[in-house]
């Protein structure tokens, strides 16, 4: 394998870090047995090239020792077990976070111990000790919050001690680690909050956490919220099989979250050990923190606490190897695979569009809309939104003045679908043949087509697009209406629209923040419901199953199939929407986007698909194809299309993937260069 291919297939090269959460079997008050199980799981994590392996609270001794914590034999046995783990870690890559009781200067602390490659990096005591209901931790332990100690002597070394420690891997960008213990995250301001503000990206919680009814849900909510509020990863592990069940029960619940997204979770109530392994995207976290001014303001607001945090540097020395990515990368970042989430996404998108248009009509004083209906995806969805808006405003659907405007290449199928849809929705409909006015303009500018030559260049196409829009604006003025735009986010990103007097312009565009892939699913979602009649739903399915084409260039006279297929020119929308999301939303470089796309798209049989994608439409792509269409995207997006985005009409922002409005998520120079991005694409191998 070439060096470039090795780099491309290395997750650490793309800003990921592999993490593991272990749930070992324990025996109460048996440190020798427990340390053996911890070492075994640590070796498994090392075999998977993990940078971190997290273990439960007090896993060296077991959490349920009670007054045995005051026994010399147990405390001395724990020290022997810790030394054994430190020695075993010499040949292991991951940082090990283990839980143990430590007697320090006459007090006993519930501690997390960070171990790496044969040495202890630091010791973190538990800050908040629960002493209510079933918990009696203050009976045995002292809080590390106000203990006054910053260093401890352990095994002949002076080690950093306190909850205010970040472990910083100097050879892995953005890998900064913090540990807190169980109850710490249940408080109003967990120690990890200040650690995150000080730069920690991977927050961990060594927990024991017995299980009661509905507690697992609450734990999940806590971890999700803390990871989201801190713009961080949050790893959590609870005690499992082997803890005493005298009064309590244990479910072995481990989770890994990344900025509110759950990456993985263990199966609960198993009587066997588990190792949960997931790859965290550190670059994503760094990108989000850089953008979020609120996060940076919070750093300044709490600067006393933030500056008090200590950083302990170490070298991880990760193994550079080709590793399959251990996290789910959705093929459709705008379209959830989970049926419930997909239903919610479609519901919210649809209603955002409807409410945006309703407000525009109310505030402008207009009660009529003019829209061009081609029988394609975008105008179909915009027409559906318009119809529902009229219903909400208690205005007649006849106030929608819908026009289909066939040109030189309009197919019978799309024209028939346009008429059928307009009729089924009960809007005012009419057909205007734009060919005579187009011929006049082509003749006026002395285009070769006007002399009988089969020249179908960009001018030929734009004359048709411009004539349609010109008609719509004049019709709007004549009928005291506004022009409803139909172009979608994907076309805006790729510059696939005719500037100015063309499909680029309207009075209000409901689709401007909705990508093509989501529009396809929205139409299928609407067709599967009872929003409209059964006949309307049949037409919608027919439209969404039609090949995407601008229908501007004539084809074979004996065929009704379109001569132009949009995706053969600008690329498959499912790939280009993927590229758009990760480049505009997160600022990822082309090699990383290609790496992610390969993981998501290389095998159609792997991973989840949205239920609205038929089996026959489930595609896969090679790295060579991914690389080619990524190059097309970067050239079109960065080099030739920004001037169109700088003059977009109004329209509602729909998703966190953003809009490309110059008044919203994307402000960029119209004369920027694509050189940097195209140069990086050269580093992507053509074959994986």
Taking each helix axis as running N to C, give the angle between helix 339-364 and helix 377-392, from 0 to 180 degrees, rounded to the nearest 10. 70
Dist CA 371 CA 432 (whole Å): 12
Catalytic site residue from 53, 59, 126, 512:
126
The SS3 call for residue 213 is coil
3-state DSSP helix/strand/coil % of the chain, to nearest 5: 45, 15, 40
With vertex at residue 676, the alpha carbon angle to CA 672 and CA 681, rounded to the nearest 5 degrees, is 130
Contacts of residue 73, defined as CB under 8 A and 6 or more positions apart, other chains included, come to: none
Map tokens 């009661």 to a residue.
Answer: 212
Tokens encoding 573? 């929308």
CB 505 within 8 A of CB 645: no
Catalytic site residue from 53, 57, 111, 625:
57
Dist CA 385 CA 350 (whole Å): 7
Q: Is 551 a catalytic residue?
A: no
With vertex at residue 136, the alpha carbon angle to CA 135 and CA 138, rounded to the nearest 5 degrees, is 130
The SS3 call for residue 28 is coil
Map tokens 């593991």 to a residue.
Answer: 20
Contacts of residue 217, defined as CB under 8 A and 6 or more positions apart, other chains included, come to: none
Contacts of residue 261, defined as CB under 8 A and 6 or more positions apart, other chains included, come to: 227
φ, ψ dihedrals at 258, nearest 5°:
-135, 110
Transcribe 590-606 into DSSP letters.
HHHHHHHHHHHHS-TTS
Q: Is 78 a catalytic residue?
A: no
Taking each helix axis as running N to C, give the angle between helix 534-544 and helix 516-527, from 0 to 180 degrees, rounded to the nearest 10. 150
Dist CA 141 CA 204 (whole Å): 21
Specify which residues 258 forms β-bridges with: 233, 261
Dist CA 575 CA 590 (whole Å): 13
Specify which residues 113 forms β-bridges with: 98, 123
- Report CA Rg, the chain: 30
With vertex at residue 96, the alpha carbon angle to CA 90 and CA 102, rounded to the nearest 5 degrees, is 100
Catalytic site residue from 182, 230, 346, 438:
182
Q: Is the dihedral of CA 38, 44, 48, 49 positive or negative?
A: positive
343: enclosing H helix or E strand:
helix 339-364
Dist CA 287 CA 387 (whole Å): 40
Transcribe 594-658 into DSSP letters.
HHHHHHHHS-TTSS---TTS-GGG-----HHHHHHHHHHHHIIIIIISHHHHTTPPP----STT-
Dist CA 177 CA 53 (whole Å): 12
192: enclosing H helix or E strand:
helix 191-197
Q: Is 143 exposed, middle or buried (0-12, 13-18, 19+ CB in 10 A)?
A: middle
Q: Is 516 a catalytic residue?
A: no
Dist CA 123 CA 103 (whole Å): 12
Active site amino acids: 57, 126, 182
């Amino acid at each position: 394998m070439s060096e470039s291919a090795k780099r491309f297939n290395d997750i650490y090269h793309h800003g990921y870090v592999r993490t593991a959460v272990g749930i070992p079997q324990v025996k109460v008050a048996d440190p020798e047995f427990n340390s053996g199980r911890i070492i075994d799981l640590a070796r498994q994590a090392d075999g998977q090239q993990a940078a971190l392996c997290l273990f439960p609270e007090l896993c060296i001794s077991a959490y349920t020792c009670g007054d045995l914590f005051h026994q010399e034999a147990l405390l001395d046995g724990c020290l022997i077990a810790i030394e054994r783990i430190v020695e075993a870690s010499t040949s292991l890559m991951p940082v090990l976070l283990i839980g143990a009781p430590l007697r320090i200067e006459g007090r006993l602390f519930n501690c997390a111990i960070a171990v790496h490659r044969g040495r202890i990096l630091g010791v973190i005591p538990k800050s908040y000790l629960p002493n209510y209901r079933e918990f009696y931790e203050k009976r045995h332990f002292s809080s590390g919050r106000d203990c006054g100690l910053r260093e401890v002597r352990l095994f002949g070394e002076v080690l950093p001690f306190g909850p205010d420690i970040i472990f910083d891997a100097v050879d892995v960008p953005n890998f900064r680690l913090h540990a807190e213990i169980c109850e710490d995250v249940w408080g109003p301001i967990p120690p990890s909050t200040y650690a995150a503000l000080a730069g920690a990206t991977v927050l961990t919680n060594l927990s024991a956490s017995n299980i009661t009814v509905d507690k697992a849900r609450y734990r999940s909510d806590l971890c999700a919220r803390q990871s989201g509020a801190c713009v961080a990863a949050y790893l959590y592990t609870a005690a499992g099989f082997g803890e005493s069940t005298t009064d309590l029960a244990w479910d072995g619940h481990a989770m890994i979250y990344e900025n509110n997204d759950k990456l993985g979770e263990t199966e609960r109530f198993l009587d066997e050990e588990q190792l949960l392994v997931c790859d965290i995207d550190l670059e994503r976290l760094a990108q989000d923190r850089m953008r979020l001014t609120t996060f940076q303001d919070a750093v300044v607001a709490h600067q006393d606490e933030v500056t008090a945090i200590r950083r302990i540097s170490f070298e991880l020395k990760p193994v550079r190897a080709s590793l399959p990515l251990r996290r789910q990368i959705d093929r459709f970042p705008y379209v959830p695979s989970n049926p419930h989430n997909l239903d919610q996404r479609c519901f919210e998108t649809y209603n955002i569009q409807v409410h945006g248009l309703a407000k525009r009509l109310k505030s402008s004083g207009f009660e009529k809309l003019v829209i061009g209906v081609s029988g394609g995806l975008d105008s179909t969805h915009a027409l559906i939104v318009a119809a529902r808006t009229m219903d909400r405003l208690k205005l007649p659907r006849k106030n929608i003045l819908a026009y289909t405007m066939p040109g030189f290449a309009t197919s019978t199928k799309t024209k028939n679908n346009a008429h059928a849809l307009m009729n089924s929705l009960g809007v005012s409909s009419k057909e205007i043949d734009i060919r005579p006015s187009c011929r006049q303009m082509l003749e006026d500018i002395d285009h070769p087509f006007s002399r009988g030559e089969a020249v179908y260049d960009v001018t030929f196409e734009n004359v048709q697009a411009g004539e349609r829009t010109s008609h719509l604006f004049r019709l709007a003025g004549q009928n005291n209406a506004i022009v409803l735009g139909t172009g979608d986010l994907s076309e805006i990103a790729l510059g696939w629209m005719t500037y100015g007097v063309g499909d680029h312009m309207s009075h209000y565009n409901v689709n401007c923040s909705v990508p093509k892939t989501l529009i396809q699913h929205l139409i299928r979602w609407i067709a599967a419901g009872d929003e409209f009649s059964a006949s309307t739903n049949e037409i919608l399915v027919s439209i969404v199953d039609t090949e995407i084409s601008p229908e501007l260039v004539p084809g074979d006279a004996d065929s009704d199939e379109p001569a132009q297929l949009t995706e053969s020119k600008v690329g498959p929308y499912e790939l280009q929407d993927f590229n758009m999301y990760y480049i505009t939303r997160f600022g990822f470089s082309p090699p990383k986007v290609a790496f992610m796309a390969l993981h998501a798209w290389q095998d159609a049989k792997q991973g989840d698909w949205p239920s609205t994608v038929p089996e026959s439409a489930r595609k896969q792509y090679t790295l060579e194809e991914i690389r080619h269409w990524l190059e097309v995207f970067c050239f079109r997006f960065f080099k030739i299309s920004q001037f169109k985005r700088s003059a977009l009409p109004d329209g509602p922002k729909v998703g966190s993937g953003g809009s490309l409005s110059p008044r919203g998520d994307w402000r960029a120079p119209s004369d920027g260069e694509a050189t940097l991005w195209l140069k990086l694409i050269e580093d992507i191998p053509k074959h994986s």
